[in-house]
Amino acid sequence: MATKLTWLGHGTWLIETAGHRVLLDPFLNDNPAAPVKADQVECDFILVSHGHFDHVADAAAVAKRTGATVIAIFEICQWLQGQGVPEEKTWAMNLGGACQQPFGRVKLTPALHSSTLPDGSSGGDPGGFLLSLADGNVYFACDTALFSDMELIGRAGLQVAVLPIGDNFTMGPEDALEAVKLLRPQCVIPAHYNTWPPIAQDAAAWARDVEQQTDSRAVVLEPGQSYTLG
């Protein structure tokens, strides 16, 4: 089964790989761009990049309903336990660390952002995820500014990079284009835009810039659409 990445709007993704379903940054019920609600999604793992509501909103509810294991930085795992997620269904990490999971290898990469949880608790440091899957390496930058260490992340050899282009809260189109030049992925997919007016962007124009100025292919998805690796 080929690895399939489905954009559920904003920063939320469903990754289907090696017979597993991995939900990244579940924000569905209050996400105006989400094509499904939180009670309609099935998964056996959940990744959470940082503590903001538009990334953790439905994490506890989906984890409790599905029994999925949540993989996140230590502080977010602790907070989710306080929301009723069993400790044995959390997998705590910290920046720079990697772990082997049944669906592939997960590395928690740095992000330049903030990470306060919805109730004001500290979410620790924000992160992104470098996933080494059966069909290649996929990097989710998640919410971040541009940073030059993306060049180091790119040395893994990326089949896909998923980058925010919304601006205001994260990198905008110009910096995301610089990020593509540092990461050098085979394919780049934009995310974290058009959810609300402050992050409205012309993704098609950005994709043309990427393909004119880099060797990467740019794929623009609509929420609900998928990209299959290979």
Binding site for Ni ion (CB under 5 A): 52, 143
Q: Which residues of 88-102 are buried (b: 16+ CB within 10 A; e: fewer)?
A: ebbbbbeeeeeeebe
When asked if residue 16 is in the footprint of Mn ion (CB under 5 A), the reply is no
Structure tokens, 189: 């997919």
Question: At its nearest, how many Å lie between Mn ion and the CB of residue 164?
Answer: 8
Footprint (CB under 5 A) of Mn ion, residues 39-58: 54
**CA 219, CA 207: separation in Å to the nearest integer?**
7
Q: What are phi and psi of 212, to 5 degrees?
A: -80, -35
Closer residue to Ni ion (CB): 29 or 213: 29
Out of 58, 125, 143, 167, the residue judged to bind Mn ion by CB under 5 A = 143
Question: At its nearest, how many Å lie between Ni ion and the CB of residue 117?
Answer: 11
When asked if residue 75 is in the footprint of Mn ion (CB under 5 A), the reply is no
Closer residue to Mn ion (CB): 89 or 113: 113
**CA 63, CA 72: separation in Å to the nearest integer?**
13
When asked if residue 25 is in the footprint of Mn ion (CB under 5 A), the reply is no
CA angle 57, 62, 66 (to 5 degrees): 170
Task: Note the residues at the interface with Mn ion (CB under 5 A).
Answer: 54, 143
